[in-house]
Amino acid sequence: MATEPTELDTHDVELERELSSLLDVERFPPPEGFRKRALLSDPKVYEEAEQDWQGWWAKQAEELHWFKKWDKVLDDSNPPFYKWFVGGQLNVSYNCLDRHVEAGRGDRVALNWLGEDGSERKLTYADLLADVERFANALKDLGIKKGDVVGIYLPMIPEVAVAMLACARIGAPHNVVFGGFAPEAVRERMEFAEAKVLITVDGASRKGTITPIKQAVDLVVGDLESLEHIIVIAAHGTPCEMRSGRDVWYHEIVAAADAKCPAEPMDAEDPLYILYTSGSTAKPKGILHTSGGYLTGVTATHRYVFDLHPDEDVFWCAADVGWVTGHSYIVYGPLANGATGVMYEGAPDYPHKGIWWEIIQRYGVTIFYTAPTAIRACIKWGAEYPRKFDLSSLRLLGTVGEPINPKAWLWYHKIIGAERCPIVDTWWQTETGQIMITPLPGITETKPGSATTPFPGVLADVVDEHEGKTIKEGQGLLVLKRPWPAMLRTLYRDDERFVETYFKRFGNTTYLVGDAARRDKDGYIWVIGRIDDVVNVSGHRLSTAEVESAIVAHESVAEAAVIGQSDELTGQAICAFVTLQGTIEGTTEIEEAIRETVAAHIGKFARPKRIIWSNDLPKTRSGKIMRRLLRDIAEGRALGDVTTLRDPAVVDMLGQAIATAPEED
């Protein structure tokens, strides 16, 4: 389980003093000016939703455009396989595009895009609709039909949104792979989902260098039987080979396609997308989201959690579109709400460490949503960067992805929000699809470090790990005791693992989150971290088993055990205990080679920060690696029960090894 990272020093005496005085403030009520204009400012909304939670969600669904209204809000006859808005028909891309254009809002900017090199594109709702219609037709021309899985492996360029919406338009579930994943991981995800098409790019720009992408993908996907076509976006003119009959250029197929592609009516429960995420084993889980409930959940939460006034606000979610945060709060929620958004191609420190703040000034961003890790990086770089820019357009801030330590919260509040902007600390998961535990910015008094209370209509609880009994005040397991519209419907083609992972512990109506949490005397929830073998590095979800299996792929490695270790910058960092083959001695060369192997199998973000050579690993008599013990050793904590340990001498050996092991920068 994660422990709180140690606090970063701002190296600014005055700022340190100001932040520590704020540490004594227990609650931050919504600023009066904010509350007055907020969409929701009356706490009665919680009671109303509670009295008739299905009715509350139905009211949210009514905000969308339906080709045919549903017959039943919720079918809960076969838990945990819930169905929402049964019998209803809609199209997600129609809701995100056509209806705004039809209502005369076609000229509104949907996406302000900024490239790493400073180039800019402004796509209005009308532009986006035109691109999506053509690309949807191009997909159809390639033989893609409703139900066919389409892989997307793209950097942060507008075409990623076009591709997702074009898939939604024709009912082809997309399977987006984060651009930071290695081609190997792309291959694996295409194979599991039997994708028919992969949409990628010739090259991607990262911190001033162009990396060839199509070329790298070609090396690993060649033998995938299901993969009929690769569509390549020519973004940088990076040379790549085009296999005839299989590979096509995006600009060519789009130019040849019809301009009109009416949105296909979909059943509310038709799949919208699959998104692979990490679980306890090395095999990623294909989270399946469907259409009607998902769009209802993300649209309602986007509107109310971010208090969206679509005519005035500029909303920027600085996540990558390849993670669920990007799916729900860059693409689907904001576009369904007719918001004006921002998309930045590059890294937060390129071309300079103030680029995010420059973007906020440039586009007049009013609502900004990011991860605690990014905030901690900014703290480290120094407050002088944000101070150089005019951030007065901001009125609301959000965080997601990991627990935020109070000091980072206060820094965000003071330096970015100028003590004027409420902060919404939003807890949710790939599985939940939508924000679940969060303040409502015009109502909730926030406490730094707590995601506060469930969104109206959501029923979360903290329970004891044995019997699942409610813990009114104290620490336990976080569970969700009632279905919600954007919940995952299953794991793609693996109903059994779905039930086993989330519903075996406490029965079919209680969803096991996988996080530990504490509830305080006021009923506020403080999410602590994962209880399973999932680590959260800079808000990126990884399974220790995935990293282990990448490490043992290196020829010199006999065995590896991976744990998450607290890190002041990235929340958790990967720490690997590695046993080498035979008499091979650990060297810095092997260490680097192991890191490269992990980068090649998963992605650079999964590279272990620390590698600790160990002749043996602590195991139970039955041979199971005792990760709990490794975590205690790595954190320098008192060791728990060691009576089941096969060879107690291992503990001392590891204690010494860890004291001398270096860290990668």
Residues that bind ligand WTA (CB under 6 A): 277, 323-325, 400-403, 425-430, 451, 514-515, 527, 529-530, 536, 541
Nearer to ligand WTA, 502 or 577 (CB): 502
Count of beta carbons in the 10 Å neighbourhood of residue 390 = 12
Q: For the CB of residue 295, give the shortest distance to ligand WTA in the complex, in Å.
A: 17
Nearer to ligand WTA, 160 or 654 (CB): 160
Q: For the CB of residue 313, give the shortest distance to ligand WTA in the complex, in Å.
A: 21
**Token pair for residue 529?**
């971290």
Q: For the CB of residue 645, give the shortest distance to ligand WTA in the complex, in Å.
A: 29
Q: Which residues lie across from 366 on neighbouring strands?
A: none
**Token pair for residue 433?**
């699809």
- In this structure, are residues 509 and 518 in contact, taking their beta carbons and an 8 Å threshold? no
Count of beta carbons in the 10 Å neighbourhood of residue 64 = 19
Nearer to ligand WTA, 124 or 277 (CB): 277
Nearer to ligand WTA, 284 or 618 (CB): 284
Radius of gyration of the chain (CA): 24
Nearer to ligand WTA, 123 or 525 (CB): 525
Closest among 456, 155, 163 to 322, alpha carbons compared: 155
Nearer to ligand WTA, 510 or 536 (CB): 536
DSSP 610-649: EEEE-SS--BBTTS-B-HHHHHHHHHTPPP---TTBS-TH
Nearer to ligand WTA, 277 or 565 (CB): 277
- Give the pairing of strands 203-206 and 229-233: unpaired
Report how far apart, in Å, the C-alpha atoms of 146 and of each of 67, 166, 273, 470 are: 17, 12, 12, 44
Count of beta carbons in the 10 Å neighbourhood of residue 554 = 20
State how far the Cα of 435 lies from the Cα of 1, in Å rounded to an integer.
22
Q: For the CB of residue 23, give the shortest distance to ligand WTA in the complex, in Å.
A: 19
Angle, helices 125-141 vs 158-170, to 10°: value is 60
Q: For the CB of residue 405, give the shortest distance to ligand WTA in the complex, in Å.
A: 11
Nearer to ligand WTA, 179 or 403 (CB): 403
Q: For the CB of residue 91, give the shortest distance to ligand WTA in the complex, in Å.
A: 25
- In this structure, are residues 539 and 573 in contact, taking their beta carbons and an 8 Å threshold? no
Q: For the CB of residue 616, give the shortest distance to ligand WTA in the complex, in Å.
A: 31
Q: For the CB of residue 102, give the shortest distance to ligand WTA in the complex, in Å.
A: 32
Q: For the CB of residue 403, give the shortest distance to ligand WTA in the complex, in Å.
A: 4
Nearer to ligand WTA, 92 or 512 (CB): 512
Q: For the CB of residue 173, give the shortest distance to ligand WTA in the complex, in Å.
A: 18
Closest among 568, 553, 665 to 608, alpha carbons compared: 665
> Which residues, including other chains, have CB under 8 Å from residue 315's CB and lie 6 or more apart?
306, 308, 334, 339, 340, 341, 342, 365, 366, 367, 369
Nearer to ligand WTA, 170 or 512 (CB): 512
Q: Does the CA dihedral 620-625-627-629 come out positive or negative?
A: positive
